[in-house]
C-alpha cells in the first residue's frame, strides 16, 4: 500500500529522513557563506586564490634562504673571530702589554744593534668588553742597515706587532774637521775632514690587540679590590696604637704643665742657654726690653746684653 508524503514523514523513518535532509541543507548554506568571508577562509579556492598562495610560499621560501645565508655568514664571522683570538695579545699568556710591549721593542732594538732614542709609554683604548688596542711610539736613530735589521726583529716578535705608522728621515750629515800633527819635521799641523756615517731618524708606532675575557677582567678587578682593602687595613694597623699600651706619664713628683702652656725643651748637657731665655741684666732698661721685637733683635738675640 502506497503512503502519501504526509504519512511517510509521520513515521519514524520519514522523520529521520527529514532531519538528515535539513542538516545537509544547513551545512551546505554554512559552507557557501563561510567560503565568501575572511573569517571562514576559502573553502572552495579559485585559481587566483591558489596563485596567491603560491606567491606567498615563494616569498616565504626566499626569506628563509636569506635568513639562512645571514646565519651562515654570522657563523663564519664567529669562527674567524675565534681563530684570530689566538694571534691577539693574551694577558694570561703574554703578560700585561703596558710593560711587556716596551720590552719587546727594546729587545728588538738590542738584537739589531740599533740606537733607540725614545721609547714612549703604552696607550690603551677599549674596543669592546674583551678587546682593546695597545699603542707604543718609538724613535730610532742609526744607520740604514741597522734600521732594516730593527724592522726584521720587529716582524719576529710574538705576538705579532702591527705597524700603525712609520716615517724615515735623513739626519743632517755635517763633515767634521780633525786637526792632527803634520809630517815629521814639519812645523804646521795637518787638518783632515771626516764624514760620519749617514744616519736615519725612524719614528713609528706599533699596535697590538689585547684579548681579555670577561672572566679574567672580573678576577683582576676582584684582586685589585682585595689588594686595596689589605693595604688600607695595613695602614690602619700602623697608625693605630696597640691595645693596652700605656700612655707616657710624667715622672713621680713632676708638676704637670698648665692647660695651653708650652713646655720648654730641656737643653742638652753642656749646651749654652740662649740669651732670649736668660733674664735681662740690670744695666738694660725694662722699657727698652719690652719694646724690642724679634725682627729688631735679629742675630743679636743670641748675644749677651751688656
Q: Residue ranges of the domains in the chain?
A: 1-44, 89-173+196-217
Is 89-173+196-217 assigned to CATH 3.60.10.10? no
Q: How many other CB atoms are there within 10 angstroms of residue 272's CB atom?
A: 8
Lowest mean pLDDT among 43-47, 78-82, 118-122: 43-47
For the whole model, what pTM was predicted? 0.47
Which band of pLDDT confidence, cut at 50, 70 and 90, is reported for residue 271?
very low
- Three-state SS at 146: helix
Mean predicted confidence (pLDDT) in 42-70: 88
Is residue 289 a contact partner of residue 279, using CB atoms and an 8 Å limit?
no
Q: Which residues pair with 216 in a beta bridge?
A: none
What is the predicted pLDDT for the residue at 33? 73
Can you tell me the distance from the alpha carbon of 116 to that of 150, in angstroms, rounded to the nearest whole number?
A: 10
What is the predicted pLDDT for the residue at 214? 60
Residue in the block written with cell 681563530: 83
Tell whether omega for the bond before 159 is within 30 degrees of 0, i.e. cis: yes
Mean predicted confidence (pLDDT) in 201-206: 94
Mean predicted confidence (pLDDT) in 81-91: 87
Mean predicted confidence (pLDDT) in 46-73: 93
pLDDT: which is higher, 39 or 80? 80
> Which region holds residue 298: left if phi is over 0, alpha if psi is between -120 and 50, else beta?
left
pLDDT of 302 over the 60 cut:
no
Determine the length of the chain: 306
Q: What are phi and psi of 304, to 5 degrees?
A: -80, 130
What is the predicted pLDDT for the residue at 6? 79
Mean predicted confidence (pLDDT) in 73-85: 90
What is the predicted pLDDT for the residue at 193? 61
Amino acid at each position: 500500500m502506497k503512503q502519501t508524503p504526509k504519512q511517510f514523514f509521520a513515521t519514524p523513518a520519514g522523520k529521520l529522513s527529514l532531519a538528515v535532509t535539513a542538516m545537509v541543507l544547513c551545512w551546505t548554506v554554512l559552507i557557501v557563506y563561510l567560503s565568501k568571508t575572511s573569517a571562514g577562509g576559502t573553502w572552495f579556492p579559485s585559481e587566483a586564490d591558489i596563485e596567491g598562495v603560491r606567491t606567498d610560499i615563494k616569498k616565504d621560501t626566499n626569506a628563509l634562504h636569506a635568513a639562512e645565508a645571514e646565519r651562515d655568514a654570522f657563523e663564519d664571522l664567529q669562527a674567524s673571530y675565534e681563530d684570530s683570538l689566538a694571534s691577539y695579545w693574551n694577558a694570561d699568556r703574554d703578560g700585561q702589554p703596558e710593560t711587556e710591549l716596551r720590552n719587546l721593542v727594546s729587545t728588538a732594538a738590542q738584537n739589531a744593534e740599533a740606537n733607540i732614542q725614545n721609547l714612549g709609554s703604552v696607550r690603551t683604548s677599549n674596543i669592546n668588553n674583551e678587546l682593546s688596542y695597545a699603542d707604543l711610539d718609538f724613535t730610532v736613530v742609526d744607520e740604514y742597515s741597522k734600521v732594516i735589521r730593527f724592522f726584521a726583529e720587529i716582524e719576529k716578535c710574538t705576538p705579532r706587532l702591527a705597524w700603525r705608522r712609520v716615517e724615515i728621515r735623513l739626519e743632517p750629515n755635517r763633515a767634521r774637521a780633525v786637526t792632527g800633527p803634520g809630517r815629521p819635521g814639519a812645523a804646521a799641523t795637518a787638518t783632515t775632514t771626516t764624514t760620519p756615517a749617514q744616519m736615519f731618524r725612524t719614528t713609528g708606532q706599533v699596535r697590538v690587540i689585547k684579548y681579555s675575557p670577561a672572566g679574567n677582567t672580573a678576577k683582576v678587578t676582584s684582586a685589585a679590590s682585595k689588594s686595596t682593602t689589605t693595604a688600607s687595613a695595613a695602614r690602619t694597623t700602623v697608625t693605630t696604637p696597640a691595645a693596652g699600651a700605656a700612655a707616657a706619664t710624667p715622672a713621680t713628683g713632676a708638676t704637670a704643665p698648665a692647660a695651653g702652656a708650652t713646655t720648654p725643651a730641656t737643653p742638652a748637657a753642656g749646651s749654652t742657654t740662649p740669651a732670649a731665655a736668660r733674664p735681662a741684666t740690670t744695666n738694660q732698661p725694662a722699657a727698652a726690653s719690652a719694646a724690642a721685637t724679634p725682627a729688631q733683635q735679629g742675630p743679636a738675640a743670641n748675644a749677651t746684653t751688656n
